[in-house]
Structure 1
Amino acid sequence: MAKKRGGSPLGNAVGAAQAQQAAAESNLTSLTHQLTNELEKSGRSAAEYLQKQFGIESVGQSMQWQLASGQSAHFNEVIFSYEQVRDDTYVTFDVNGRDQSLLTEESLQDLNSLEFQQFYPAVGREIDGKLDILDGSRRRAWFLLQEGRVKEFRILVTQDDISIADAKALAKQLQTAKEHNLREIGKQCVAIQQANEGITQAEIATQVGLSQAGVSKAIKAASVDDNLVKLFPVVNALSHPDYTLLDKVMKACGDDVNLTEFVRRIGKKIVNIQAEYSTQDQKDVIISAIKAELKITEAKQEKDKAEVMTLAQFSNKSMFARKRVKGRNFSYEFSRLPKSLQDDLDHAIAQVLEKHQG
């Protein structure tokens, strides 16, 4: 019987699959160079060829940028539909630095001119068949809010292997249209903190180009609960004093249940804020509602404040015995008492409870 043609000469030898893969990658590189040369000879553009062969619609703009590491990356401009942007693009906060959850319709109104003309393409890197948007995440969010009413979105795309460090540096260089707000900067600081155990705020300040006090304020802004922040249509309008107020609300509420109820009450109060009001006017109304509700919460806390009575004095300051009364509830609290005394207290309590139960 004749041998089947087209098999691998390596057969099933150890390492055969890896060798075939390496050979294929080498062939791809060679074919790419050959294709480039042939296109130049024929006078055809790569954009035209890609559009015809693979259905990638390109507007022809192509450029090479030098990265922070000294390496370079090649970018081609392509046009994506609404469905492609929705399904095949994403934003990595640690790279892009823009909090996508805060990009509301109100905060993106300054981009409404995109309906007629996208002057600047977004910039992205291809990873596993999808695009990680380095710059233009606000434009992307605005485009997605149109839900297909605007047909095209332009993106400069690189398929070159860009490191995380180079991607971050490039995103920072490209980001010129809208400065990151205090909360976004705070989240960047927190990400640096989590990635570098033991790093000081002074060291973080050097990395992000802020003062140490600025880093402290930004981190406080980042720590505020998302549900409080989302009460504001345009988060960029919030300043450090506003975040200080929101931090005070969180401390007054104490837990998620009370905070959720607080947010619900504020939401009911501000539901009729008119969209035509200025950003500042909307913020002022919401801040006033929060301050008024916070006063009610704090007054209730003061009224419900627990009364604490000392039951005994000890020479050791870390030891205590006290009774706490709040409304109809009360409790006994003890600290660092010897085991023998704990046993006596348990016995005494059991006797008293048994007597009254009888």
Structure 2
Amino acid sequence: MLRPQEKRTGFKQGNQLGKLAKKEIMTKVLTFASGASVNATRVVIDADAIESKTVIHALNPRRQSSLTLDSVRDILPSIKDEGVHTEGVAIINSQGVYELLDSSRRRFSCLLANKSLPLWVIDNGVIEGDLVAFINTTQAVKGLSYRELGASYPAIMSEKGLNNINELAEYLGLGRETCRKRYVAAVIADELIKIFPDCEGIPNSFYVKIAKVEKVLKKMNYSVSDFVHRLDLRTVDGLASIEGKQKAICDLMSTLASTLDDGETKKLVWATESLAEFDEKNKYAKVSRSSDNRCLKIELSRLSPELYVDLVDFLKTKISD
């Protein structure tokens, strides 16, 4: 249920909101980066209507899948005790649903705490550039991570036919290093990020370290899932702070990757056996197995092309089963 309030003159932002008559409609004017001004009307979305009456605007880059109790730990206690004091900003779509330009963490917390969500609802017709600029200026409480900021970069490069970070940075009007850091963070495998509590709240400096870990895994053709399963998180569970857990996990990842890179690659032994004997010189069929039983290599030489096709088709069938 929505609770619009009656119009009044001389809007003054502050703690006067609770003193107004329930039926009073509150409005104010918002000015955007281009200089355009639009009217905004205050509405309050009851807790039981938030799920159905609000969604996150498509331009809002906050990763909703990463919202957890840990990621809203800075605002959830006060919302539980006192409700939301600072209104979000939204537009209303043709289905009557409010699309939130900001306040996705407040929305998530209200759902957890069963509290109402106050919003300033702006008139439609605001240009996309103004909406993007507004969203970028509303991240004062918890800024967007490099990963969130760079999430759209791979798609932009593909759509615009950009070949490298330099071209991407020029297109976006960013410094090359800023663009590179965001891109690197955005393309890291999800499994290596999701392991962190408040995974979008890790320090931006961690992304370089995690990217190096992923580089080692790719070099060794090592499964990311296997790597994550090998991490011993029992010592991390005992740490009190989220920040402490984040650092400990990053250190564990770097240490394990270093062990794989420096140790296992040097100790890896291949056992090779012949699959058949041939009289013809340089004609052979052999298989090699790694000492850790994770890798298998089949080598064929000077056999018929038809046999190669049959073998590849057979392997594809077996692997997909």
Shared fold (TM-score, shorter chain, > 0.5): yes
Q: Deviations over 1:24-45 (max 9, x none)?
A: xxxxxxxxxxxxxxxxxxxx93
Q: Deviations over 1:219-268 (max 9, x none)?
A: 1111112222122113323333x223322333444499921232233365
| Mapping of residues 144-293 of structure 1, within 5 Å | 144-146=111-113, 148=114, 151-198=115-162, 201-202=165-166, 204-205=168-169, 210-234=174-198, 235-240=200-205, 242-254=206-218, 258-266=223-231, 268-269=233-234, 272-274=237-239, 277-293=240-256
Q: Radius of gyration: which is bigger?
A: 1
Letter in 2 for 1:285: A
State the structure with bigger RCO (CA 8 A, min sep 6), 1 or 2.
2
Deviation at 1:58, TM superposition (A): 7.0
SS at 2:298 equivalent: strand
Residue of 64, 77, 102 corresponding to 2:66 = 102
User: Which residue does the alignment assign to 1:113?
Assistant: 78
Bigger mean CA deviation after superposition, 151-160 or 245-254: 245-254
Letter in 2 for 1:121: E
Task: Give yes or no for contact 2:84–2:116 (8 Å, CA) kept in 1.
Answer: no
Residue of 23, 31, 46 corresponding to 1:66 = 31
Question: Structure 1 residues 64, 101: CA separation in 2 closer, same or farther (over 3 Å shift)?
Answer: same
Structure 1, unmatched stretches of 5+, are 1-43, 48-56, 309-320, 335-341, 351-358
Question: Structure 1 residues 67, 238: CA separation in 2 closer, same or farther (over 3 Å shift)?
Answer: closer
Letter in 2 for 1:79: V
Q: Distance in 2 between matches of 1:206 and 1:346?
A: 52
User: Which residue does the alignment assign to 1:10?
Assistant: none
Q: Distance in 2 between matches of 1:225 and 1:278?
A: 25
Letter in 1 for 2:84: Q
Q: Distance in 2 between matches of 1:330 and 1:256?
A: 13
Q: Distance in 2 between matches of 1:101 and 1:220?
A: 20
Letter in 2 for 1:211: G
Q: Distance in 2 between matches of 1:158 and 1:305?
A: 66
Residue of 79, 92, 111 corresponding to 1:126 = 92
Q: Deviations over 1:202-227 (max 9, x none)?
A: 45446766421121111111111222
Question: Structure 1 residues 296, 206: CA separation in 2 closer, same or farther (over 3 Å shift)?
Answer: same
Question: Structure 1 residues 262, 177: CA separation in 2 closer, same or farther (over 3 Å shift)?
Answer: same
Q: Deviations over 1:74-95 (max 9, x none)?
A: 21111112232222222245x1
Question: Structure 1 residues 153, 302: CA separation in 2 closer, same or farther (over 3 Å shift)?
Answer: same
Structure having the higher helix fraction is 1
User: Which residue does the alignment assign to 2:6?
Assistant: 45
Question: How many residues are paired up?
Answer: 269
Letter in 1 for 2:104: S
SS at 1:262 equivalent: helix
Q: Distance in 2 between matches of 1:267 and 1:142?
A: 31
Q: Distance in 2 between matches of 1:210 and 1:273?
A: 41
SS at 1:187 equivalent: coil
Residues 1:75 and 2:40 are matched in the alignment = yes
Letter in 2 for 1:229: I
Deviation at 1:302, TM superposition (A): 3.8
Structure 2, unmatched stretches of 5+, are 9-21, 273-283, 309-321
Q: Distance in 2 between matches of 1:143 and 1:207?
A: 38
Letter in 1 for 2:26: Q
Q: Distance in 1 between matches of 2:24 and 2:163?
A: 45
Bigger mean CA deviation after superposition, 75-84 or 97-106: 97-106
Task: Please give the TM-score of this superposition, normalised by the length of structure 1.
Answer: 0.63
Letter in 2 for 1:261: D
| Mapping of residues 21-60 of structure 1, within 5 Å | 45-46=6-7, 60=25
Task: Give yes or no for contact 1:58–1:77 (8 Å, CA) kept in 2.
Answer: no
Task: Give yes or no for contact 1:227–1:263 (8 Å, CA) kept in 2.
Answer: yes
User: Which residue does the alignment assign to 1:355?
Assistant: none
Q: Distance in 2 between matches of 1:105 and 1:46?
A: 37
Task: Please give the TM-score of this superposition, normalised by the length of structure 2.
Answer: 0.69
Q: Distance in 1 between matches of 2:33 and 2:171?
A: 15
Letter in 2 for 1:137: S
